[in-house]
């Protein structure tokens, strides 16, 4: 049986600033609109052999939250890569990189908070 799944994304802007991102999906656990502060949408164009991306974040998203968002996204990418390829070694490498990223991002954020950057 063929089926379709719709994912709807609304980007609320004021001039060039993103105020918020709202999304919903028919198959989501919640039937209510969900608000997000950031999103990364990546699509693969098999014909042109290239990825297409949309990266958006709300103007009031903190650096701390952006660091967490990237860390969690990298962990998710490691899982997705492993599910698609069964390559446990590269999954582990991606996860190691994600942990190193989190440490360096936290260090940078701390230096920013002390006014050193």
What's the whole-number mean pLDDT along residues 104-112?
96
Judge residue 95's burial from the number of C-beta atoms within 10 Å of its C-beta, 0-12 exposed, 13-18 middle, 19 or more buried.
middle
pLDDT classification of 3: cutoffs 50, 70, 90: confident
pTM for the whole thing?
0.89
pLDDT tens sequence across 7-31: 999 999 999 999 999 999 988 888 8
The pLDDT, as a whole number, for residue 102 is: 98
> Tell me, what DSSP letter sits at residue 86?
-
Residues contacting 50, CB < 8 A, separation 6+: 44
Report pLDDT for 27: 82
Lookup result for tokens 């994304």: 9
Average pLDDT, the chain: 95
pLDDT digits (tens, 9 = 90+) for 78-106: 999 999 999 999 999 999 999 999 999 99
Within 2-113, where are the H helices? 63-85, 88-113
| DSSP-derived 3-state class of residue 62 | coil
């Amino acid at each position: 049986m063929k089926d379709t799944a719709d994912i709807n994304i609304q980007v609320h802007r004021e001039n060039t600033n993103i105020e918020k991102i709202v999304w919903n999906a028919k198959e989501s656990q919640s039937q209510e609109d969900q608000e997000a502060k950031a999103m990364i949408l990546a699509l693969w164009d098999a014909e042109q052999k290239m990825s297409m991306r949309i990266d958006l974040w709300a103007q009031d998203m903190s650096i701390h939250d952006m660091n967490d968002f990237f860390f969690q996204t990298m962990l998710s990418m490691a899982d997705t890569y492993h599910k698609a390829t069964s390559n446990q070694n590269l999954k582990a490498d991606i996860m190691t990189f994600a942990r190193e990223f989190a440490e360096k991002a936290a260090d940078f954020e701390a230096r920013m908070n002390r006014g050193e950057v």
